[in-house]
Amino acid sequence: MAALGDPHTHVPAVHIGGTNGKGSVAVLVAEALRVAGHRVGLYTSPHLVDVRERMLVDGRPIPAAAFAAWTERLLADAVRTDASFFEVTTAIALADFAARGADLSVIEVGLGGRLDATNVLTPLVSAVTRVALEHTDYLGPTLEHIAREKAGIAKPGVPFVVGESDPVLVQHLRRVAEACGAPVHVVPREARYEGPLAMRGGHQRRNAAVAQAVLEALPAEQRPPAAAVRQGFARARLPGRLDRRGRWLFDVAHNPDGISTLLRAIATEPPPRPLHAVIGILGDKDWRQMLDALLGAVDALWVTNAPTAPPARAWDLEAVASAFGAAVHVEPELHDALAAASSGARTVLVCGSFHTVGDAMARLPGLAPLG
């Protein structure tokens, strides 16, 4: 940040963490602020196809030439500090938002919270959407450990919005936030947004209620009026989240909590049958639990590996075949899995890692998020 002139201090920010839902909440908040007349930078991760998806100002991605220029500008500092890919993209995003004249930004946490690169911010509001088991090798072995890490984005005097509904986890989040002097706003367990939403799934009504609480916690001069919130929420969309495109349905459910949410949404709004599914999961996830759940909801299931998934994190398809036998179709090549699943299906669900959904979108004509 210092090498770039501390751009994180130039644009006021909203900071949103959580296991699931944080991307949806970020998009909802950003869209309401845009409708209210703000020029809004939005930083989310990971991307599906193109890294520039992560850095939007008023819905427009960072230009390719600008991304290349910022990368060249930061290269020596990145090497000197041994910066990670995420640290570099965070720096580029914050510099880009300042350069493109954003007057507000909405920043999604990458992993955890306390030690995440985005935690360089002192935002106007911070929030944690939901806590579930994830990245236990980094964040700790229990939900309580993970909650404490996520609450690490709380800052003295900055409103801290809690979307989690489990009372025990709420107390863990509250304890960390109050210890640093952050006023805590807990979204009531039963709260659901009742207005129009572009994003599908009952879980998005909970996400929208959390987003509404985040917006209400903003200082008066940045707080959008109710009409802007309603209009923004009615048009906010996030690629890869219950994202229906013709007979294709994409969802980046990549942990048990995400799969459960996806299956509840499918049960509530059943897609045309037969419903075939293609899933690719990274090997460090609880894939047995996810496949068990998914098999009960679809008519046929193909398991595959995404070409862009890191080889060291790829799941072992032989182990999958051994565990599930004829209940699943094993097809290592994503292109072949997509072709096989589409045969005879009225709906094809592609889910799992961002790599799987992004690689599928890139291979299907006209479906990549940036066109």
Summarize pLDDT for 156-196 with one digit per residue, the tens.
Answer: 999 999 999 999 999 999 999 999 999 999 999 999 999 99
Query: Residue 284's pLDDT is what?
Result: 83
pLDDT value for 133? 80
Return the minimum-mean-pLDDT range out of 78-92, 122-136, 143-157. 122-136
Q: Which of 206, 235, 264 is the last residue of a domain?
A: 235
Residue 371 lies in a domain: no
Give the CATH number, domain containing residue 84.
3.40.1190.10
User: Has residue 368 been placed in a domain?
Assistant: no
Kindly report the number of other CB atoms within 10 A of residue 48's CB atom: 24
**Closest C-alpha among 265, 258, 266 to residue 289:** 258
The pTM score is 0.94
Residues 190 and 60 in one domain: yes
Residues 142 and 283 in one domain: no
The CA radius of gyration of the chain, in Å to the nearest whole number, is: 20
- Whether 260 is covered by a domain: the verdict is yes
Which one, of 52, 128, 60, lies nearest residue 93 by Cα?
Answer: 52
In a domain, 262, yes or no: yes
Enter the tokens of residue 97: 């938002």
pLDDT in tens, 323-340: 999 999 999 999 999 999
Strands 55-57 and 60-61: antiparallel
Determine, yes or no, domain membership for 369. no
Q: Are residues 333 and 202 both part of a single domain?
A: no
Say how many domains are in the chain. Answer: 2
Residue 178 burial by Cβ neighbours in a 10 Å radius (0-12, 13-18, 19+): middle
- What's the DSSP call for residue 220? T
Last residue of a domain, one of 235, 262, 283: 235
pLDDT band at 134; cut points 50, 70, 90? confident
Instruction: Give the per-residue pLDDT at 370.
Output: 85
Check whether residue 182 and residue 102 sit in a common domain: yes
For 278, the domain range is 243-363
pLDDT, averaged across the chain: 96
Contact 10, 101 (CB under 8 A): no
CB atoms within 10 A of CB 37: 10
363: amino acid identity, one letter: R
- Residue 90 maps to a domain: yes
Cβ partners under 8 Å of residue 64, min gap 6: 52
Strand partners, 162: 128, 186
Does an H or E element contain 106, and which? strand 104-108
Q: Is pLDDT at 371 greater than 70 in this prediction?
A: no
